[in-house]
Amino acid sequence: MISYLLLIPIVSIAAFWLARRESHIFVLGIAAALIMLSAGIKLSLDVAALGHVESRVLMFFYVDSLSMIVLGLVLAVSFFVVIYCAGYFKKELERGKIDLKRLRLFYSLLFAFIFSMILLLTTPNMGIMWIAIEATTLASVFLVGFENNKRSLEASWKYIIICSVGIAIALLGIIVLHISSIGIIKDAGTELSWTYLYEHAKELDLNLLRLAFIFMLVGFGTKAGLAPMHTWLPDAHSQAPSPVSAMLSGVLLNNAMYGIMRGLAILNKAMGSGSFAGAALMALGLLSILTAAVFILTQRDYKRLLAYSSIEHMGIIALGLGVFTPASVLASLMHMINHSFTKSMLFLSAGNIYQRYGTKDIYKVKGLFKSMPITGVVFMLGIFAITGMPPFSIFSSELGMVVALFKNGSYLAGTAFLFLLALVFVGFAVTLFKIFYGNAKGEQQKSLKPSPYADAVLVAMIGVITVTGVFMPNGVLKLLMDAQRIVTGG
């Protein structure tokens, strides 16, 4: 299954350039995403049953519960985004915004982006994982600047410069991690293998391991958008086409957080506690939520507001990892899943709004319920969901986080967390709720109704985040429990 997952995006890219019509590209994209999702479901069942799955095709691949959760999100969100793209780009072609050649380019970059994330999550080698993370930057930077205007090009430059610096720091961490293992590596081919390092964590040089984790936290934290290294994120996520924004917020940030969790798991197992990394993760987490809350209160751009919300939710995940109890780590992993679906849905809804109104300015969007009933309702429900209102899935994971904080005796952090969540809710309510009512202004493009594909995706995604708010399949729960044990050092 792993080899199929890696092969399908490569074959798809070749097929896109052979396709003669846009409809062929849309069908090829959806078929490829569906096959990858099906292969991912089969792989997840195997991982849930066996604990992990290995494969040797050209190189060694390894998927355990932690990588399967993040990989599953990549495949599921990609599936929804590719279906949405069929409707979104049909409208862009009708408006003359792109032509067939640029459509082929977009799909090729999108599937190259997906391929690099699959490679990142299926290799046990931290060196190859680092190369794959850098590859996600190279593939996605062209997607961020795809609209080829001044602001999107500035955002893409800012994105590649800051993230490349961050990734270089992460590479330094991986090198130090390797140095900490010199002397214990006995089997050829196990250098930089996180499975080997995890099994022999107690034999690593602890001082070097601590230093390696600091570099990895700063480096991968930059890519994950944790404050104060977040400055690229609001520009990149708001200037990219909405399907790309959905991928960046929904899955790319998780991949960077995955790099942190791999380093954290080795450190936690070596130390037998989360005392060293916990304080740093909690501080970065709360700082990220505070930064997001302040900027959300003052936003005029709804896509930029959603981008700041992604910083908030990466902060929540980091906070839970830092508390380092089984309950808090489990809440973090659940929050990763819940945020991926909810934020992707909101960015796709924002894409419908931008196509209809031609602006990202909150003050120029009025009467959303009247002009776009399905998008309007889904967008409003999505706002309730992302701000942690029941019955949506984010409410469950945030409630789990609050309980874990107070149960652990972290009363100050718990109180600050609740206060900041309230501040974020006020920010969304004050800035965004005004777009739903009133009369639509003349500048909206009435001919551009959302495509049925786009509406179907939004309805399906709101269904997912509603159902998972009250019910989580047993297979997913088992993966979550196994992944929690890996992160906490087993």
Tell me how far apart the alpha carbons of residues 490 and 488 are, in angstroms, rounded to a whole number.
6
* Element containing residue 54 per DSSP (H, E): strand 52-57
Tell me how far apart the alpha carbons of residues 90 and 370 are, in angstroms, rounded to a whole number.
23
Q: Chain-centre distance of CA 215, in angstroms?
A: 21
Q: Considering the entire predicted model, what is its pTM? A: 0.94
pLDDT in tens, the chain (490 residues): 788 899 999 999 999 999 989 999 999 999 999 999 999 999 999 999 999 998 887 778 899 999 999 999 999 999 999 999 999 999 899 888 899 999 999 999 999 999 999 999 999 999 999 999 999 999 999 999 998 889 989 999 999 999 999 999 999 999 999 898 887 766 666 778 888 888 888 888 899 999 999 999 999 999 999 999 988 999 998 899 999 999 999 999 999 999 999 999 999 888 877 778 899 999 999 999 999 999 999 888 999 999 999 999 999 999 999 998 999 999 999 999 999 999 999 999 999 999 999 899 998 898 898 889 999 999 999 999 999 998 999 999 999 999 999 999 999 999 999 999 999 999 999 888 888 887 766 545 555 677 888 889 999 999 999 998 888 888 899 999 999 999 987 6
How many distinct structural domains can be found in the chain?
1
What are the tokens at 362? 């909150």
Beta strand 59-64 with 52-57 is antiparallel
Domain housing 292 = 1-488
* pLDDT of 123: 92
